[in-house]
Amino acid sequence: MTEKQAIRTALWTRRWSQQKLADKMGYKNQSGIGNILRENSSVRFETFLKLMEVMEFEITITNMHNPDEQYIIDGEEDIAPYDRD
């Protein structure tokens, strides 16, 4: 799944219009969301994260060799295992 497919799927799941998402994001109109979803544009990770958070979805990274090892990307800094003494 691409990030744009994830955004579209989240919109569909929430039964939100692009206008509602634009309102929640603080955009002046729907065209901001339309521009993000255009095929020929890329989505900045920070924007993708914010869009998904506004729609109440989380982004999770899962270790493919150990599915029990997961990290939730929420934009907040946590103490990572490699930062601990």
In a domain, 64, yes or no: no
In a domain, 21, yes or no: yes
List the domain range (segments joined by +) for residue 18. 3-57
In a domain, 80, yes or no: no
Inform me whether the pLDDT recorded for 81 exceeds 90: no
User: In what helix (H) or strand (E) does residue 73 lie, and over which residues does it extend?
Assistant: strand 66-73
CATH number at residue 31: 1.10.260.40
The model's confidence at residue 11, banded by pLDDT at 50, 70 and 90, is very high
In a domain, 31, yes or no: yes
Average of per-residue pLDDT across 37-66 = 91
In a domain, 81, yes or no: no
In a domain, 79, yes or no: no
pTM: predicted TM-score of the whole model, two decimal places: 0.80
Inform me whether the pLDDT recorded for 14 exceeds 80: yes
Question: How many structural domains does the chain have?
Answer: 1
Of 51, 59, 58, nearest to 24 by C-alpha is 51
